[in-house]
Structures are given as structure tokens and as C-alpha cells.
Amino acid sequence: EPEVTQTPSHQVTQMGQEVILRCVPISNHLYFYWYRQILGQKVEFLVSFYNNEISEKSEIFDDQFSVERPDGSNFTLKIRSTKLEDSAMYFCASILGETEAFFGQGTRLTVV
């Protein structure tokens, strides 16, 4: 069964450092997303990516965040200068069209 894979599963970083979270979406999918979930809170949309560009982003996705699909398979989320409040689970998701979303297992980001 096709799946979305994310690496690493857990990342610990110092405040102010840059982190890159990596995702391999399902190969024939067209829409790619990053969501985050702060512990005990709901899953929140960060950004959607379609046709090699950002199609929509939330208020959370400020200038510290960026996404890339550098090689047609990987999809990355970069946080330029991490803050304590960036600590959360980050989920990558992909969909084919107006169908269900396939989520990865997440990267737990801990900023210390």
C-alpha cells in the first residue's frame, strides 16, 4: 500500500537553529501539504503546494517557513530560525484530487 514517509521521526534543535523536515509523498499525487499539531491541540494547516508552487498558506506560515520540492519526489519544510513555540508534530500529507489525504507518521520537533 502506498504511504507517505517522513524523516526524521524526531528532531531536537536549539532555538535559533534551522531545521529541515523531509517528506516523500505518494508518487502520483498532485497536492502536498504540511500540517502541524502542538501537543494536545488540533491538527492545523500550514501550507499547500501544487504545480510546484505554494497554493495556499496559513497565518502560521510566516517568513521563517519555506517549502520546496527539489527533485520531484522529496517535499521539504524548512524553518529558518526555530522558536520554542515551533515545538510540535509536523505532518506531511498528499492527495490525488478531491479525495482522502494520506498523512505521514510525522516528525516530532523539539526546540530547546
Partner 1 sequence: SQKIEQNSEALNIQEGKTATLTCNYTNYSPAYLQWYRQDPGRGPVFLLLIRENEKEKRKERLKVTFDTTLKQSLFHITASQPADSATYLCALDGNTGFQKLVFGTGTRLLVSP
Closest approach of Cβ 55 to partner 1, in Å?
Answer: 4
Chain centre distance of CA 20: 9
Footprint on residues 71-110 left by partner 1 (CB under 8 A)? 89, 91, 93, 95, 97-106, 108
Give the span between the Cα atoms of 5 and 32, in whole angstroms: 13
> 523531509: which residue's cell?
22
32 in Cβ contact with 26 (< 8 Å): no
Site for partner 1 in 25-54 (CB under 8 A): 31, 33, 35, 41-45, 48, 50
Interacting residues with partner 1 (CB under 8 A): 4, 31, 33, 35, 41-45, 48, 50, 55-56, 89, 91, 93, 95, 97-106, 108
